[in-house]
Amino acid sequence: MVVLCAAVAACNERVPLDDFAFETPEQLAEGLDALDAGTQADTAGTDTAAATDAGAATDAGAALDSAGSTDAGQVTDAGSTADTAGPADTHTPPQDAGSLDASPKDTSSPPDTSTLQDTSTSKDTAVPPQDTFVPPKDTNVAPNDTYVPPKDTYVPPKDTYVPPKDTYVPPKDAGTTGCTSGAACDDGNKCTTGDKCVAGTCVGGAQVTCDDNKPCTKDVCSPLNGCVYTSASGANCNDGNKCTTGDKCISTKCVGSGQLKCSDGNACTKDLCQSALGCIFTSAEGQNCEDGNKCTEGDRCKNKACAAGDPKKCLKPAQPCLASACSVKTGSCVVNALPDGSSCGTAMVCKSAKCIPTQPVVQAKAIGVGIKHSCALRTDGVIRCWGDGQYGRLGAGSVSKSNTPVSVVSKSKFKAIAIGREHGCGITTYGSLQCWGRNSSGQIGSGTKVDQAIATTVSGMNSGVGAVGMGASHTCATRSGKLYCWGYNQHGQLGDGTKTARLKPVEVAGVTKVRMIDGGYGFTCVLRDDGTVWCWGQNDKGQLGIGHKLANVKPAAVQGLSGAVSIDAAYYSMCAVKSDQTVWCWGYNGYGQLGDGTKTDQVKPVQVKGMTDALGVSIDQDSACGRTKSAIMKCWGKTQSTFSLVAEVKINAWHGCVINSTTGAPQCFGANHDGQLGDGTKTSSSKLVGIKGL
C-alpha cells in the first residue's frame, strides 16, 4: 500500500492519509491525475518562484517539510518562498499538495506500489520511511510552521532538596544590588543587627547577643529563628540562696538540693543562715554551755566564750586525798581519787595525794625494748623479759613467746642492761658482760654466729665492763677505760677503720672516757665524760651529726653539741639531752621525730621545740619521747602520747615501756601482738598497762 502526504505539515506530523491509499496501478494513476489538477489550482496565485528548475521535478514522496529544503535540485516550499518574497501565505495546502513530475509518465511498466518513479534527472528518487523524522536545519520558520517539541519534554522532579529547618537560607533578594549605600536593610539573618547597605549590597551588622537572664536555659541564636532558649536541665547553677547547696537545673528552674549547715564550733554563738548573706554567727550571751570540765556546774556563755560555773560538790572521799574528788572527764565523784579525779584503782590507795600500793611492788631499776619484746632489770638484779622469743631474744632458754615475764637464764646478778632489736646484754655485778639472742653477724661476741637462748659471756669481757650499748646487729662496751665493738660492720660502725664483721670485740682507737653507748642500724655514737658526743659509720641521713652525709669509718665529734648528759639512738636518727635540760636531735626526720617542726633531715643537731626541762629522751624509727623533771612523758613525731609519773622511758618501733616514778613498777603501752606489753594478753593499748608477774 502506498501512502502519500496530503501536505507538508501532515508529513511533519507523520499522519498517514487513508484517503490516498491505493490498491491497484489504475487507482494510483487516477490519484496522480487528481493530485496534479489540485496542485495547479493551488499554485496559480502564488509566487512564480514555486519551482526553481523547470526540468527538475521532485519525487512525490520527497515533498519538503514545514521548514523547507534549500536543495537547488528540489522544488521550493511555497511557504518558504513567501518568507522572503512577501507576506506569509496563510492558505493551507490540500493534503496532496506538493510538486509532481511535469515530464510524461513512464508507462513501460506498472508503477511501483511503494514508490513513485521520478523520470527527471534528479538523483534523489527514494521515498523516506513512513515514520522517519528529520528535523529541519533552518530554524527561521514561518509562524504557521513553528516547531512543536515532543510532549515528553524534561520536567524536573517535584521532590527538590529542602534545606533543614535551622539552615539559614537567605531570601531571594539577599545580597543583591539595588539598595542605597548606607541605608538600613535586612540581610535575612536574624542573628545580626544593624544591617547596612554597602555598595548596593545588604551586609549583616553586629552579632545578636541572646540572654534571657535565666541560669537554667541554653541561650543560642538561629539565623532562621533568632534567639532560642532551651532547657539546661541537670547543669550546676546558683539559685541565689546562700543557704542551699548542690543547686541543679530542673527543667528551666534552678533548685537547691541541700541545706547549708552553719557551725563555727563555738557553743557560745548562735549559728544562723540567711539566704542573702549565708552563715552568720551572733553572740549567745548568757546561754547554757559546757566548758569541757565535768566538775563545774552552771557554765554560761560570756563574750562568745564558755565561762566555768560553780565547782561540783562531791561527798568526802573515803581516803584522805584532796577535798575534790570529781573526775574531770566524767563528772562523777570518785572515791580513792587523785587530785585530777582519776582513781587509784583497787590495788592502790590514795594517800597524801599519791597512789600507794596495797601490796609490796617489785620495782624495776632499768628497762629496755626491742622490736617485739621488752625487758626489765629488777632491783634484785634479775632480768625478766617478755614478748616474742624468736632467736632466743628473751634469754629464757627457748625460742617460745611469752606474754608475761620470764627470767634470763644466768647464774649471775646484773647491774645494767641494754636491749637491741633482737638481742640483749647485761653487765653483771662482777663486771662481766653477758649477751643472748640473735647472733647472725656475731653480735653476741661469742666467737661464732650461733644464736644464744641464754646469757653467754662475751669473749674477753670477763671483768671491768663499765658501759654497754648496741645497734641493730652490733654491740659495743667499755672495759678498763677502753672501747670495744663487734658484730656487723658493713658501714664501718665498729669504728676500727674497716668494714669487716667481727665475731669478737675489737678496740676502737682514740675513744676513751666513755659514759654512754648507743647505736642505730649502721652507726654508733658515744657520750664522753666531757659532754661531747662522737659518732661513726653510716651517714646517709646525716645521723653522725658531722655537718654532711658522707660515711665515716672513724669516730668524729658531733658538730655544735656540748654539755650532753644522755643520748639515745634510732635506726637513722640520734638525740641528746644537755645539762640545761634541752633536747637536741639530728639525722632522719621523715615523721618529724627530730622535733624541730619540720620533716627535713638534719646533718647537725637541732633543738626540740617545747622541751626545756628534760631529764631523758628515747627515739625510734618515727617518734621520740622525753621525760621531764616533773615526771611527765611527752612524745613528738608519729606518736603523740603523754603520760605522767614517768621516771624512765624507752620506745622502739611499735611499743614502749616506762618506770613509774611513784611505785618504781614498769608499765608498757602500744602494740601487743606478740605479748610485748607483758600484761598477760595480746591486746594492744594506748594507755599504760602493768606488767603481770614481774
Burial of 466 (0-12, 13-18, 19+ CB in 10 A): middle
593 versus 27: which is more confidently predicted? 593
Rounded to whole angstroms, the Cα distance separating 623 from 595 reads 9
Q: Are 357 and 347 in contact (CB under 8 A)?
A: yes
Rounded to whole angstroms, the Cα distance separating 391 from 375 reads 15
Q: Are 35 and 100 in contact (CB under 8 A)?
A: yes
Question: In this predicted structure, what is the pLDDT of residue 94?
Answer: 38
Whole-prediction pTM:
0.53
Dmax over Cα atoms in the chain, in whole Å? 177
Question: In this predicted structure, what is the pLDDT of residue 294?
Answer: 75
Q: Which amino acid type is present at position 564?
A: A
274, three cell numbers: 540567711
Residue 662's alpha-carbon distances to 348, 454, 692, in angstroms, are 12, 32, 18
Question: In this predicted structure, what is the pLDDT of residue 350?
Answer: 64
For the four alpha carbons of 310, 313, 317 and 323, in that order, the dihedral sign comes to positive
92, three cell numbers: 493551507
Question: In this predicted structure, what is the pLDDT of residue 168?
Answer: 52
Q: Map 411-436 to HEC letters.
A: CCCEEEEEECCCEEEEEECCCCEEEE
Query: What's the whole-number mean pLDDT along residues 83-107?
Result: 37
490, three cell numbers: 658493713
φ, ψ for residue 340, nearest 5 deg: -85, 5
Q: Are 92 and 147 in contact (CB under 8 A)?
A: no
Rounded to whole angstroms, the Cα distance separating 190 from 457 reads 104
pLDDT in tens, 96-135: 333 333 333 343 344 343 333 343 333 343 444 444 444 4
Q: Is residue 77 predicted with pLDDT exceeding 90?
A: no
Q: Which amino acid type is present at position 231?
A: S
- Ranking 143-147, 332-336, 371-375 by mean pLDDT, the lowest is 143-147
497 versus 321: which is more confidently predicted? 497
Rounded to whole angstroms, the Cα distance separating 193 from 207 reads 6
Which of 9-23, 160-174, 387-401 has the highest average model confidence (pLDDT)?
A: 387-401
- Percent of the chain residues past pLDDT 90, beyond the cut: 48
- Residue 90: pLDDT band by 50, 70, 90 thresholds? very low
Question: In this predicted structure, what is the pLDDT of residue 416?
Answer: 97
Q: Is residue 322 predicted with pLDDT exceeding 70?
A: no
Q: Is residue 383 predicted with pLDDT exceeding 90?
A: yes
Neighbours of 12 (CB within 10 A): 19
Which of 72-76, 236-240, 484-488 has the highest average model confidence (pLDDT)?
A: 484-488
Q: Which amino acid type is present at position 214?
A: K
Question: In this predicted structure, what is the pLDDT of residue 204?
Answer: 85
Q: Are 141 and 24 in contact (CB under 8 A)?
A: no
Rounded to whole angstroms, the Cα distance separating 182 from 251 reads 45
- Residue 523: pLDDT band by 50, 70, 90 thresholds? very high
Q: Is residue 251 predicted with pLDDT exceeding 60?
A: yes
pLDDT in tens, 233-247: 888 888 888 888 888
Q: Is residue 605 predicted with pLDDT exceeding 70?
A: yes
- Residue 197: pLDDT band by 50, 70, 90 thresholds? very high
Q: Which amino acid type is present at position 566?
A: S
Could you tell me which residues come within 8 angstroms of residue 151 by beta carbon, excluding any fewer than 6 positions away? Answer: none
40 versus 341: which is more confidently predicted? 341
- Residue 381: pLDDT band by 50, 70, 90 thresholds? very high
Burial of 472 (0-12, 13-18, 19+ CB in 10 A): buried
Rounded to whole angstroms, the Cα distance separating 10 from 640 reads 124
Q: Is residue 505 predicted with pLDDT exceeding 80?
A: yes
CATH number of 364-690: 2.130.10.30
Q: Domain limits of the chain?
A: 1-155, 310-359, 364-690
Q: Are 359 and 347 in contact (CB under 8 A)?
A: yes
Question: In this predicted structure, what is the pLDDT of residue 412?
Answer: 96
- Ranking 46-55, 250-259, 476-485, 550-559 by mean pLDDT, the lowest is 46-55
Q: Which amino acid type is present at position 677?
A: L
Question: In this predicted structure, what is the pLDDT of residue 388?
Answer: 97
Query: What's the whole-number mean pLDDT along residues 453-468?
Result: 97
Which residue's entry shows cell 636531735?
A: 585
φ, ψ for residue 306, nearest 5 deg: -90, 115
Query: What's the whole-number mean pLDDT along residues 260-277?
Result: 83
- Residue 613: pLDDT band by 50, 70, 90 thresholds? very high
31 versus 56: which is more confidently predicted? 31
Q: Which amino acid type is present at position 228?
A: V
pLDDT in tens, 132-164: 444 444 444 444 444 455 554 454 445 444 444
Question: In this predicted structure, what is the pLDDT of residue 187?
Answer: 86
- Percent of the chain residues past pLDDT 70, beyond the cut: 67
Could you tell me which residues come within 8 angstroms of residue 46 by beta carbon, excluding any fewer than 6 positions away? Answer: 78, 81, 82, 89
Q: Is residue 211 predicted with pLDDT exceeding 80?
A: yes
Which of 107-121, 208-222, 360-374 has the highest average model confidence (pLDDT)?
A: 360-374
Could you tell me which residues come within 8 angstroms of residue 172 by beta carbon, excluding any fewer than 6 positions away? Answer: none
Q: Is residue 525 predicted with pLDDT exceeding 80?
A: yes
- CA within 13 Å, CB half, 582: 12
6, three cell numbers: 496530503
Q: Is residue 287 predicted with pLDDT exceeding 70?
A: yes
Q: Is residue 679 predicted with pLDDT exceeding 50?
A: yes
pLDDT in tens, 534-577: 999 999 999 999 999 999 999 999 999 999 999 999 999 999 99
Q: Are 236 and 247 in contact (CB under 8 A)?
A: yes
What mean pLDDT, rounded, does the chain reach? Answer: 77
- Ranking 6-10, 19-23, 423-427, 631-635 by mean pLDDT, the lowest is 6-10
φ, ψ for residue 537, nearest 5 deg: 110, -145
Query: What's the whole-number mean pLDDT along residues 406-431?
Result: 97
Question: In this predicted structure, what is the pLDDT of residue 356?
Answer: 67
Rounded to whole angstroms, the Cα distance separating 501 from 586 reads 27
pLDDT in tens, 640-659: 889 999 999 999 989 999 99
Question: In this predicted structure, what is the pLDDT of residue 524?
Answer: 98
Q: Which residues of 435-444 are buried (b: 16+ CB within 10 A; e: fewer)?
A: bbbbbbbbbb
- Residue 80: pLDDT band by 50, 70, 90 thresholds? very low
